[in-house]
Structure 1
Amino acid sequence: MHLLLPFAVLLVVAVLISERAHRTVLSTAVLFLLGGFLLGPGVTDVLQIEAGDPIVGGLAELALFSVLFTDGMRVGLADLRAAWRLPGRALALGMPLTLGITALLGHFVVGLPWLESFLLGAVLAPTDPVFAAAIVGRKEVPGRLRHMLNVESGVNDGLALPVVLALLALAGGTEASGWQLAEEIGLGIAVGVVVPYLVLRLERLPAFAAVRAHQPLVAVSIGLLVLGVCEATHANLFLGAFAAGVTVATSGPEFRVEFERFGELVTELLKLAAILVFGALITPEFLFGEIPLVGWIFAVLALVLARPLALLVAFVGARLPVREQLAAMWFGPKGFASVVYGLIVLESGIPAADQLYHLIALVIVLSIIAHSSTDVVLARQFDTDEELQEWGEQEQ
């Protein structure tokens, strides 16, 4: 069966239960993941999808570009200057420590070589609070906590990608030399900065100003132009997307506001379609026949040990209330970036590619289920008094 009909049916169901999902443990992400699993090979065989199919790579690439562009829009330089201490701790200390602890687990629990263990850690280091929407979308959750999770997730996808590419190159997973890889990364960032900057400068000229009705399309057109230029020049399109989002948020913050509703809905649709496809790749044989017990042990420890320990160290001296620390330590859901980075590893052809992909996919599946099912419960634990609602606390 074609992908469109199952996706449309699941989308209608998701929209109809969205109000209830906002108040309960129901989750849109879990709905699409479970839908893909049930419709995929080995269950009902409605969707016949394999990892090497063009739709998998193409949809994942387009969705991640959109996700990174949207993430970059959330973290303009003004936002980082206004409240950088907590996100800075999570990114500068928490993320490398999460990567390192995950690598240790990969080496000592699963038995992976060190290089592959660090590659595994790099792929699983980014977070995505979209899978824990109640935390970042509820007013009863302290503003500084929501801000920290938003900024952290907005930045760490882009920070992890060069590390993933570099480690993959060291493992022999790409034909690009070190200089060529650096050139692709640098060119991607340059395209992501220069193209939006020039377009925004042109838009401010009287002859080119966009009418009010078309202003949401300014950021969308910039994103598409960056995508096209990156494809034409072989620049790294993911870093180009992230840099473009940051540039728009910094140089044209008014367009970020216009883009927010329309652009994020488009990104959400692409992400849900990709999760549906990802769910169809996770067959019963994949989960219970191809992953040994040590793989399950690794996946559980990667969720309940790696990030909590990392942020426990990162928050030393932060004077953050214990309840907020615990929430931040738990809500490090493995997001869509990890799905795509895992597919990049799988398609790289390195000897451990299949084993790494199985471990990555298992962690993501468990993360989506665990975090998307506990966000509302935890959000309700926060008081709604003025002190917890206050935005401008010293530790921002």
Structure 2
Amino acid sequence: MDEFSGNELDIALTALGGLVLILGLLSGFLKERLLLSDPLVAVCIGILLGPSGLHLLDLGHWGNPQSILEQGARLAIAIQLMGVALRLPKGYLLRHWKAQAVLLGLVMPLSCVASAVLVYFILGLPLWVALLVGAIVTPTDPVVATAIVTGKVAERNLPDRLRHTLSAESAANDGLAYPLVFLPILLLTRSPGEALGQWFGEILLWEVGATVILGAVCGYLAGRLLLRAERQHTIDKPSFLAYTLALSLFVLGGIKLLNGDGILAVFVAGSTFSLVVSGSERSQEERVQEAVDRFFTLYVFVLFGLGLPWREWFDLGWSGAIAIGALLLLRRLPVLFLLKSCFPHSLQRNGDLLFMGWFGPMGVAAIFYAMLAIRETQTESIWAIVSAVVCASIVVHGISAIPGAKRYGQLHSPQVPPTE
């Protein structure tokens, strides 16, 4: 390993600070005029500064690149999931449970199978490896999704029901992808009987089931304690932002120490917290919360740009390009139309299904699960296809977000019902 240079830290800090400053000043122009989303700009910065560009930064100088990407992605997901939970209308998940049940209980596993079938036949991967790749690319990404469903253009052209549905799904399925990813991991590393027993007993019951309960308890207690501190004036100057950020980190680390799914727990904690704390208190720092979310999540796309495996992409050849295109087009869209009748009536319009089917971006969650899978199975080939699909998703979904929202608005605005 090359020696880490102090100058590289200064370069990294300058790059990240400059990136957030530029996006803060020009994000509207970049998105609406140049069709460049925040994650896409961050990836480009990483490529420019990395070994394939100016070679000013190299993940190999900082430690194990896979570990850096895994833990960086894990932290970014947690921060973004708390932000999504707080931005959703109070009690949204309880009122709209049916749509989320279809998306998480039917669309998600079927999308996993569809993705696995595509990479199995196109790339010729072994069956369990294909299923593992399918599970990794299944969850939609809350960071990229936020760039699609927030902002002036999205708010003017997309109904709240569509924006909130995509945001809630992208947050929830990041944590619920955990058992989908671990099933093929266990089948690759253990005997079938042992794998299934551990998956049901350890993964489903404890790491997912108990995690949901613990996350809800943490969120409820955090909300009640905050309200009590304000009533009794034991808190000097309450900072909703600092409190929720601390809650994210506490739950993420604490649940992981208990061998639970910390990512899912953060979203559950945030959702429960938002039920306890009133809407007026939540909205006071909403814009500041979005800015901090941006700062604490964009860095992972810079890291991703630094670590892109260009040579491995080239080795995939034309079959890799075909697989990427097939995953973008077929992993989600056909499933949504197949299950059209299962959705609530308000989401059965073809335009809604088309928008939700296309804008199911892959990003930080796929990076995290890919690194976890490589660590558990030592199957390095996973990273080539997953990173290629994520990069393609960031590009095509970022570029098509503004035109897609405007087109939806042109076709469906007269029919859009009042906001929730």
Q: Which residue of 2 aligns with 1:52?
A: 64
Which of 185, 195, 214 is residue 191 of structure 1 equivalent to?
214
The answer to whether the aligner puts 1:138 opposite 2:155 as a matched pair is yes
Q: Which amino acid aligns with 1:44?
A: L
The answer to whether the aligner puts 1:380 opposite 2:406 as a matched pair is yes
**8 Å CA contact 1:345, 1:357 repeated in 2:** no
Q: Which residue of 2 aligns with 1:147?
A: 164
Q: Which residue of 1 aligns with 2:78?
A: 65
The answer to whether the aligner puts 1:227 opposite 2:252 as a matched pair is yes
Alpha-carbon deviation of 1:188? 3.4
Which of 349, 352, 369 is residue 321 of structure 1 equivalent to?
349
Please show how residues 217-366 of structure 1 align to structure 2 within 5 Å: 217-254=242-279, 256-258=282-284, 260-288=286-314, 290-316=315-341, 320-350=348-378, 353-366=379-392
- Separation of aligned partners in 2, 1:327 and 1:160: 22
Alpha-carbon deviation of 1:211? 5.7
Alpha-carbon deviation of 1:213? 4.2
The answer to whether the aligner puts 1:14 opposite 2:27 as a matched pair is no
Alpha-carbon deviation of 1:259? 5.7
The answer to whether the aligner puts 1:4 opposite 2:13 as a matched pair is yes
Q: Which amino acid aligns with 2:220?
A: Y
Residues 335, 71 of structure 1: CA spacing in aligned structure 2 closer, same or farther, 3 A cutoff? farther
Which of 225, 231, 251 is residue 202 of structure 1 equivalent to?
225
Say which SS state the counterpart of residue 302 (structure 2) adopts.
helix
TM-score by length of 2: 0.82
Q: Which residue of 2 aligns with 1:96?
A: 109
**8 Å CA contact 1:220, 1:263 repeated in 2:** no
Tell me how large the CA RMSD over aligned residues is: 2.9
Q: Which amino acid aligns with 2:132?
A: L
Deviation string, structure 1 residues 317-346 (Cα, Å, up to 9, x no partner): 756333332222211111321111111112
- Separation of aligned partners in 2, 1:120 and 1:31: 26
- Separation of aligned partners in 2, 1:162 and 1:211: 42
The answer to whether the aligner puts 1:156 opposite 2:173 as a matched pair is yes
Which of 392, 395, 405 is residue 369 of structure 1 equivalent to?
395
**8 Å CA contact 1:202, 1:208 repeated in 2:** no
- Separation of aligned partners in 1, 2:223 and 2:286: 17
Alpha-carbon deviation of 1:28? 1.7
The answer to whether the aligner puts 1:107 opposite 2:107 as a matched pair is no
**8 Å CA contact 1:307, 1:332 repeated in 2:** yes
Count of residue pairs brought into register by the alignment: 389
The structure carrying a bigger helix percent of its residues is: 2
The answer to whether the aligner puts 1:35 opposite 2:45 as a matched pair is yes
The answer to whether the aligner puts 1:169 opposite 2:186 as a matched pair is yes
- Separation of aligned partners in 2, 1:63 and 1:151: 17
Q: Which amino acid aligns with 1:17?
A: L
- Separation of aligned partners in 2, 1:190 and 1:81: 16
- Separation of aligned partners in 2, 1:324 and 1:118: 28
Say which SS state the counterpart of residue 61 (structure 1) adopts.
helix
Q: Which amino acid aligns with 1:33?
A: V
Q: Which amino acid aligns with 2:416?
A: L
- Separation of aligned partners in 1, 2:259 and 2:140: 27
Alpha-carbon deviation of 1:76? 7.6
The answer to whether the aligner puts 1:390 opposite 2:408 as a matched pair is no
**8 Å CA contact 1:216, 1:258 repeated in 2:** no
Q: Which amino acid aligns with 1:268?
A: R
- Separation of aligned partners in 2, 1:75 and 1:385: 22
TM-score by length of 1: 0.87
- Separation of aligned partners in 1, 2:360 and 2:28: 24
Alpha-carbon deviation of 1:278? 0.5
- Separation of aligned partners in 2, 1:327 and 1:247: 29
Q: Which residue of 1 aligns with 2:3?
A: none
- Separation of aligned partners in 1, 2:226 and 2:180: 35
Deviates more, 1:63-72 or 1:211-220: 211-220
- Separation of aligned partners in 2, 1:258 and 1:363: 38
Say which SS state the counterpart of residue 36 (structure 2) adopts.
coil
Deviation string, structure 1 residues 356-378 (Cα, Å, up to 9, x no partner): 12111111000000000011111
Alpha-carbon deviation of 1:114? 2.3
Residues 86, 292 of structure 1: CA spacing in aligned structure 2 closer, same or farther, 3 A cutoff? same
- Separation of aligned partners in 2, 1:184 and 1:208: 37
Residues 310, 259 of structure 1: CA spacing in aligned structure 2 closer, same or farther, 3 A cutoff? farther
Alpha-carbon deviation of 1:35? 1.4
Taking only the aligned residue pairs, the percentage that are identical comes to 27
**8 Å CA contact 1:128, 1:336 repeated in 2:** yes
Residues 286, 266 of structure 1: CA spacing in aligned structure 2 closer, same or farther, 3 A cutoff? farther
Q: Name structure 1 gaps, 5 residues minimum.
A: none
Q: Name structure 2 gaps, 5 residues minimum.
A: 1-7
- Separation of aligned partners in 1, 2:210 and 2:32: 44
- Separation of aligned partners in 2, 1:81 and 1:57: 32
Q: Which amino acid aligns with 1:26?
A: L
Alpha-carbon deviation of 1:228? 4.2
Say which SS state the counterpart of residue 47 (structure 1) adopts.
coil
- Separation of aligned partners in 1, 2:240 and 2:170: 26
- Separation of aligned partners in 1, 2:142 and 2:70: 23
Residues 109, 141 of structure 1: CA spacing in aligned structure 2 closer, same or farther, 3 A cutoff? same
Deviation string, structure 1 residues 92-118 (Cα, Å, up to 9, x no partner): 332222111101112111112222222
Say which SS state the counterpart of residue 10 (structure 1) adopts.
helix
Deviation string, structure 1 residues 102-154 (Cα, Å, up to 9, x no partner): 01112111112222222211111111364353444322223322222122212
**8 Å CA contact 1:72, 1:155 repeated in 2:** no
Deviation string, structure 1 residues 248-289 (Cα, Å, up to 9, x no partner): 12333445434643333322222210000011111432432x
